[in-house]
Amino acid sequence: MILVTGGAGFIGSNVVHGLNARGHRDILVVDDLEQGDKFRNLVDARISDYIDKDDFARMLERDDPSLRRIEAVLHQGACSDTTVRDGRFMMKQNYESSKALLTFAQARRIPMIYASSAATYGGGDRFVEEPSCEAPLNVYGYSKLLFDQRVRDAIPMRTAPVVGLRYFNVYGPREQHKAKMASVAFHLHHQLLQTDRVRLFVGSGGYGDGEQRRDLVHVDDVVAVNLWFLDHPDHSGIYNVGTGAARPFNDVAKAVIGFHGRGALEYIPFPDTLVGRYQSYTQADLSALRRAGYTAPFTALEAGMSSYLRWLTDHP
């Protein structure tokens, strides 16, 4: 049995579908369905069981015998809202829960692949998996960094593989429940349908209007990297997952307008709440991932946007 935490969420549900495509059905999904609409992400998936995250945490604490069937952990569950200021909540959700899973996986000698984040890098201009590049701008990024540091310390004594994947800006199907934290592509698509306009921030961080640049990676590529490490248990470490190319948000707007054949672009004021907490530029350095042996190409923005916008149109 394969455990997927956050399995009803954006990346987690896509991982479940990726496992299904390989013929895996014995999948335990752990999530929090307080936001009930996430169930839609699993309607067309096959899983063997679902457990609420709080119930699962108690099962881990008592070493419930039913968990002994787990053969691998794909840990995608987290609070991913970078605007949350409640540090106690963030650390409990992202750090403490991850520590418990790491302890479980190492005790059972089973591989664990978990979601880290490019938010660990903060506002720098080098995105290499090393401490000199790490300076998060918010408590979300810090919660991810602290667990990465714990993993680094644990790797020399590991009893099983442990891999952290630093996702850059992921977009693609099944992110509709994320509300304000959904991708720019998702928001611009719906803005255009509702108003015939798409909106981006004015210039910030030394960049022009809409020219803030992010490494935008399709969720299918994220799933492919997760499954590759599942197939290659000889690797442990922390790896970037992005395309390796920073693209301006203006390119996303142009893709949305071009797909629909209509619409205008306007720029709105930069929010005061994001000043000093916003990454204006990210670009994954893929050297470590390539050295590990992952050779598959990443989807270019134009192809990824075309595919995703078709999916959004088919799933209104």
Q: How much is the pLDDT for 161?
A: 98
- Ranges of CATH 3.40.50.720 domains, the chain: 2-171+216-245+283-299
276 has a pLDDT exceeding 80 = no
Q: How much is the pLDDT for 278?
A: 84
Q: How much is the pLDDT for 105?
A: 97
Segment 224-244 shows an average pLDDT of 98
Residues with a known catalytic role: 140, 178
Q: How much is the pLDDT for 159?
A: 97
Q: How much is the pLDDT for 277?
A: 75
- Ranges of CATH 3.90.25.10 domains, the chain: 176-213+246-282+302-310
CB atoms within 10 A of CB 100: 14
Q: How much is the pLDDT for 316?
A: 86
Q: Which fold has domain 2-171+216-245+283-299?
A: Rossmann fold (3.40.50)
Q: How much is the pLDDT for 271?
A: 87
Position 204 confidence tier, pLDDT thresholds 50, 70, 90:
confident
Q: How much is the pLDDT for 272?
A: 82
- Mean pLDDT score of the chain, rounded to an integer? 95
205 has a pLDDT exceeding 90 = no
230 has a pLDDT exceeding 80 = yes
Q: How much is the pLDDT for 81?
A: 80
% of the chain with per-residue pLDDT over 90: 89
Q: How much is the pLDDT for 245?
A: 98
> What angle (nearest 5°) sits at the alpha carbon of residue 85, between those of residues 80 and 89?
65
* 125-157 exposure pattern, b = at least 16 Cβ within 10 A, e = fewer: eebebeeeebebbbbbbbbbbbbbebbbebeee
5 has a pLDDT exceeding 80 = yes
pLDDT in tens, 175-201: 999 988 999 999 999 999 999 999 999
Write the secondary structure of the chain as one string of H (helix), E (strand) and C (coil).
CEEEECCCCHHHHHHHHHHHHCCCCCEEEEECCCCHHHHHHHCCCCCCEEEEHHHHHHHHHCCCHHHHHCCEEEECCCCCCCCCCCHHHHHHHHHHHHHHHHHHHHHHCCCEEEEEEHHHCCCCCCCCCCHHHCCCCCHHHHHHHHHHHHHHHHHHHCCCCEEEEEECEEECCCCHHHHHHCCHHHHHHHHHHHHCEEEEECCECCECCCCCEEEEEEHHHHHHHHHHHHHCCCCCEEEEECCCCEEEHHHHHHHHHHHHCCCEEEEECCCHHHCCCCCCECCCCCHHHHHHCCCCCCCCHHHHHHHHHHHHHHCC
pLDDT in tens, 71-113: 999 999 998 888 888 899 999 999 999 999 999 999 999 999 9
Segment 202-227 shows an average pLDDT of 95
pLDDT in tens, 104-162: 999 999 999 999 999 999 988 999 999 999 999 999 999 999 999 999 999 999 999 99
Global pTM reads 0.95
Q: How much is the pLDDT for 80?
A: 82
| Tokens 């936001």, residue located | 35
Q: Which fold has domain 176-213+246-282+302-310?
A: UDP-galactose 4-epimerase; domain 1 (3.90.25)
Q: How much is the pLDDT for 295?
A: 98
